[in-house]
């Protein structure tokens, strides 16, 4: 690439992520035309009305049939079936990339679905807000945030370089990681903590005999600690299902840690507890 300029970008799923990607590339003037498609017609109309995309397609086929690049920002569980639907209409040379937060199965499926002369590059922008929909999108969402690309031995290098450049233009710090490593790392630093927080909220909310006081005194650590338990339920259902294998390994490990800790509290083993907490503090201070 001498100078980055796309003729047509198709954005499938014009929500927070898809809309912000479009806005960022339009703001940087690296794309002539952005065509959007969304299974929710109201959201799609809103996207056009707000200038998030230049125009709306009436179908997946229309959205992708002239695209240099297709960006998929639909729920992660729908990604593969959306790619299947689009495949017959992809023009030669088209690069398909996505923003899904679980990668192994998805990347493998999408690579297999690509027709000859079309190229898939998996991606995962580490960005978001508590809002959703085209109206929540903004060009700066990815500024300074990491975006992970997950190339494999099948990935076309020029396609990878192009997608890499687009995310840099959008403001991201781009890193590459193989899909399985990605899924293991996010199982550890994100998926496990989310499940732990969900269970914690249930446990605390269930101790309702002191509900009024819990309400009053949850303002401190509990609020910060459980913020992630307010995340989108259907997205987290999908993540738990799609990243099940790496996640189960961490759930096992965590269960073992928790059960041991509980036994030691029950036994009143102060020396063990102090040692365990000291190690936690050291590990956490090292990790962060």
Residues for the chain: how many in total?
Answer: 288
Gap between the Cα atoms of 167 and 189, Å rounded? 23
Share in percent of the chain as helix, strand, coil (round to 5)? 55, 15, 30
Measured in whole angstroms, how far is the alpha carbon of residue 267 from the centre of its chain?
Answer: 42
Nearer to a copy of itself, 161 or 269 (CB): 269
Question: What backbone torsions phi and psi does residue 56 show, to the nearest 5 degrees?
Answer: -100, 140
Gap between the Cα atoms of 95 and 111, Å rounded? 11
Gap between the Cα atoms of 231 and 198, Å rounded? 10
Q: How far is the CB of 281 from a copy of itself (least distance, A)?
A: 5
Nearer to a copy of itself, 120 or 186 (CB): 186
Nearest one of 219, 238, 220, 228 to 201, comparing CA atoms: 228
Write the DSSP symbol of residue 146: E
The residue to which tokens 């703001």 are assigned: 27
Nearer to a copy of itself, 91 or 222 (CB): 222
Write the DSSP symbol of residue 283: H
Neighbours of 33 (CB within 10 A): 16
Nearer to a copy of itself, 116 or 224 (CB): 224
Gap between the Cα atoms of 132 and 102, Å rounded? 19
Q: How far is the CB of 79 from a copy of itself (least distance, A)?
A: 16
Q: How far is the CB of 221 from a copy of itself (least distance, A)?
A: 5
Nearer to a copy of itself, 158 or 262 (CB): 262
The CA distances from residue 224 to 97, 197, 227, 257, 265, in Å, are 34, 10, 5, 22, 24
What are residue 10's DSSP bridge partners? 35, 70
Q: How far is the CB of 211 from a copy of itself (least distance, A)?
A: 9
Q: How far is the CB of 166 from a copy of itself (least distance, A)?
A: 21
Nearer to a copy of itself, 2 or 220 (CB): 220
Q: How far is the CB of 128 from a copy of itself (least distance, A)?
A: 10
Nearer to a copy of itself, 26 or 184 (CB): 184
Neighbours of 222 (CB within 10 A): 14
Nearer to a copy of itself, 116 or 285 (CB): 285
- E strand or H helix at 251: helix 244-267
Q: How far is the CB of 94 from a copy of itself (least distance, A)?
A: 30
Q: How far is the CB of 203 from a copy of itself (least distance, A)?
A: 4
């Amino acid at each position: 690439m001498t100078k980055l300029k796309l003729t047509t970008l198709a954005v499938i799923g014009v929500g927070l992520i898809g809309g912000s990607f479009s806005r960022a590339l339009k703001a940087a003037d690296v794309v002539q035309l952005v065509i959007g498609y969304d299974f929710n017609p109201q959201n799609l109309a809103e996207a056009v009305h707000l200038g998030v995309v230049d125009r709306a397609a009436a179908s997946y086929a229309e959205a992708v049939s002239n695209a240099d690049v297709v960006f998929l920002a639909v729920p992660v569980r729908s990604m593969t079936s959306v790619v299947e639907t689009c495949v017959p209409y992809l023009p030669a040379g088209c690069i398909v990339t996505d923003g899904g937060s679980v990668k192994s199965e998805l990347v493998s499926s999408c690579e297999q679905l690509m027709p000859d002369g079309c190229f898939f590059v998996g991606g995962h922008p580490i960005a978001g807000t508590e809002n959703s929909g085209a109206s929540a999108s903004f060009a700066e969402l990815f500024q300074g945030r990491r975006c992970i690309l997950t190339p494999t031995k099948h990935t076309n290098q020029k396609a990878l370089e192009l997608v890499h450049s687009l995310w840099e233009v959008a403001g991201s710090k781009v890193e590459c990681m193989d899909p399985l490593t990605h899924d293991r790392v996010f199982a550890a630093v994100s998926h496990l903590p989310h499940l732990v927080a969900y269970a914690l909220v249930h446990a605390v909310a269930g101790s309702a005999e002191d509900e009024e006081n819990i309400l009053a005194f949850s303002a401190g650590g509990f609020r910060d600690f459980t913020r992630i338990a307010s995340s989108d339920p259907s997205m987290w259902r999908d993540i738990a299902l799609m990243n099940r294998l790496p996640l189960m390994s961490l759930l096992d490990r965590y269960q073992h840690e928790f059960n041991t800790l509980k036994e030691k509290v029950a036994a009143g083993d102060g020396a063990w507890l102090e040692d365990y907490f000291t190690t936690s503090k050291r590990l956490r201070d090292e990790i962060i």
